[in-house]
Structure 1
Amino acid sequence: MKNDLPESAGAARQRAGFLQIEGLAKSFIADQAVFADVSFTLERGEFVCIIGHSGCGKTTILNVLAGLDQASAGQVFMDGREVAGPSLERGVVFQSHALMPWLTVRKNIAFAVASRWPGWPAAQVAAQVEKYIAMVGLSAAIDKKPAQLSGGMKQRVGIARAFAIEPKMLLLDEPFGALDALTRGTIQDELMAIVRATGQTVFMITHDVDEAILLADRILLMTNGAHSASGYVAGGIGETVINTLPKTRTRAGLHHIDGYYALRNHIVDFLIERARPGANPP
């Protein structure tokens, strides 16, 4: 028998997308929104990157998704519920590792795990910590403090901590921006392997076009706000690019894949010609 009862708002949002952003806007100056009318969805298990020039509002959007900031307008729903503040259902990794320097790697992650599941016995917490430390290849450093680790190792700990609480969504704010190219490439490959193994939903900010092409299923390209002859125009999502390259791609083999250069050139052309206020085609 057909059910003629109206679908609940929460059920409709779950059907429309695991994460749903509706009409998001942020203003610091009256009548000059940094961005406006930002709407997009993430499906469960999808990896989405957002790229744009400095000042376009990428980090503000991520902070709103994390519940760390409030939008001037619009709403965010995750798994059918409105995002109204911070939650351990969303793991965040920033460019700075944000580890507690007086605690070992083990205790940094155990603190997060115990906060997520306060009723767990110590042995269960320890097993969870060791599982995710092994996943990022740092078992040998588990009892070291952050001062004894390299920058890349600290970021691995930050990633392990975020995954260890098993969030519904992972938010990454340029987590590899301060790393050297070799370390960055290694951790990118490791992150992609972990995401594939766990089916994690990820929203990531990056300035690195190749990083976005390597990691993302979809890439959101942002424009900056600008003054025009008709008045101020807020920034926003200028274009959404679907990454059709094989999911088995690796950093080392990326430039050998058919379609890579066309995709890269398209994104670079957008950033040069359409994203920045006052930019003109060459």
Structure 2
Amino acid sequence: MWSERVDPAVVSPAEHRPPASEAKFLSVEALGKSFVPGKPVFDNVHFTIARGEFVCIIGHSGCGKTTILNVLAGLDTATSGHVFMDGREIAGPGLERGVVFQSHALMPWLTVRKNIAFAVESRWPQWSRAQVDAQVEQFVAMVGLHAAIDKKPSQLSGGMKQRVGIARAFAIQPKMLLLDEPFGALDALTRGTIQDELMAIVRETRQTVFMITHDVDEAILLADRILLMRNATDTSSGGIAEEVVNPLPRTRKRAGLHHLPGYYDLRNHIVDFLVHRSNA
């Protein structure tokens, strides 16, 4: 337990320990990125993600979190290192990875139905119109937007737009979901509601997720494991400083999170890293 001062990098409750065959569904090996020659933003980044695991990465702005996610998405290339998913090296974008950004990235001239249908048709071009419609309606219902299915983005609130983005990502049934602060622009009440919805959907679908967040409580609520990223300095590059396994029960809910034994120890450890140790 955290109160016993166990090193958080090695805490590994049995409920979070994946079978050996699934332990390296995603493998990041010696990843590095430099925008200026000789001055890497991060270097020698190693981590793995198990199939069905939810991993959050936390660090200060500019430490390279989004660059790592973009490399996983195939939207950027690393200066060094490799990323493998399900036994194959990632070398570009692919429909086996669904991406949700902080900005919803919806096509404004299309309705909710057609925004999601566009992705579904790209994933399964051989499907009939009835099959596409059934897939779209299933995932629109999953995020509670059936009443808005034929509305355009301009008719939706910020939270509803993000629900559409989440539905679109899930509708193509990706092997992995990549989330870049998807709730960062939402008000606290909407953010909390969608966090709960996302958690329920991920549990139902057993989706593998990699998520960037600046919100410590969001990471504690959602993640099985939390990667703490240090900043680059004048004398050292950035990278993953610690991997913290979340010891709280997976059945945790946002409303009762702060009542769980070990919550404050976990939160204080992460905050202490961000305040005092992220530049080490």
What SS does the corresponding residue of 2:116 show, helix, strand or coil? helix
User: For 1:26 and 1:115, how far apart are their aligned partners in 2?
Assistant: 31
Question: Contact 1:32–1:234 (CA<8 Å) still a contact in 2?
Answer: yes
Please state how far the C-alpha of 1:92 moved relative to its aligned partner. Answer: 0.1
User: For 1:219 and 1:186, how far apart are their aligned partners in 2?
Assistant: 21
- 1:108 paired with 2:115, answer yes
**In structure 2, what is the equivalent of residue 49 of structure 1?**
56
User: For 1:18 and 1:243, how far apart are their aligned partners in 2?
Assistant: 19
Provide closer, same or farther for how the CA distance between residues 110 and 15 of structure 1 changes in structure 2, counting only shifts above 3 A.
Answer: closer
Provide closer, same or farther for how the CA distance between residues 15 and 170 of structure 1 changes in structure 2, counting only shifts above 3 A.
Answer: closer
What does 1:1-282 correspond to in 2, within 5 Å? 17-227=24-234, 232-276=235-279
Please state how far the C-alpha of 1:16 moved relative to its aligned partner. Answer: 5.1
Identity %: 78
Question: Contact 1:48–1:219 (CA<8 Å) still a contact in 2?
Answer: yes
Please state how far the C-alpha of 1:14 moved relative to its aligned partner. Answer: 6.4
Question: Contact 2:54–2:225 (CA<8 Å) still a contact in 1?
Answer: yes
Max Rg structure: 1
Please, which moves more after superposition, 26-35 or 89-98? 26-35
Provide closer, same or farther for how the CA distance between residues 127 and 15 of structure 1 changes in structure 2, counting only shifts above 3 A.
Answer: closer
Question: Contact 2:22–2:51 (CA<8 Å) still a contact in 1?
Answer: no
Please state how far the C-alpha of 1:65 moved relative to its aligned partner. Answer: 0.2
What SS does the corresponding residue of 1:39 show, helix, strand or coil? strand
Provide closer, same or farther for how the CA distance between residues 16 and 136 of structure 1 changes in structure 2, counting only shifts above 3 A.
Answer: closer
Question: Contact 1:53–1:276 (CA<8 Å) still a contact in 2?
Answer: no
For normalisation by structure 1, the TM-score amounts to 0.91
The structure 1 segments of at least 4 consecutive aligned residues displaced by more than 4 Å after TM superposition are 13-16
For normalisation by structure 2, the TM-score amounts to 0.92
Q: Give CA-to-partner distance per residue, 1:59-110, whole Å, 9 cap, x none.
A: 0000000000000000000000000000000000000000000000000000
Q: Which has the higher contact order (CA 8 A, sep 6+)?
A: 2
What SS does the corresponding residue of 2:211 show, helix, strand or coil? strand
Aligned residues: 261
Please state how far the C-alpha of 1:31 moved relative to its aligned partner. Answer: 1.3
**In structure 1, what is the equivalent of residue 11 of structure 2?**
none
What SS does the corresponding residue of 1:226 show, helix, strand or coil? coil
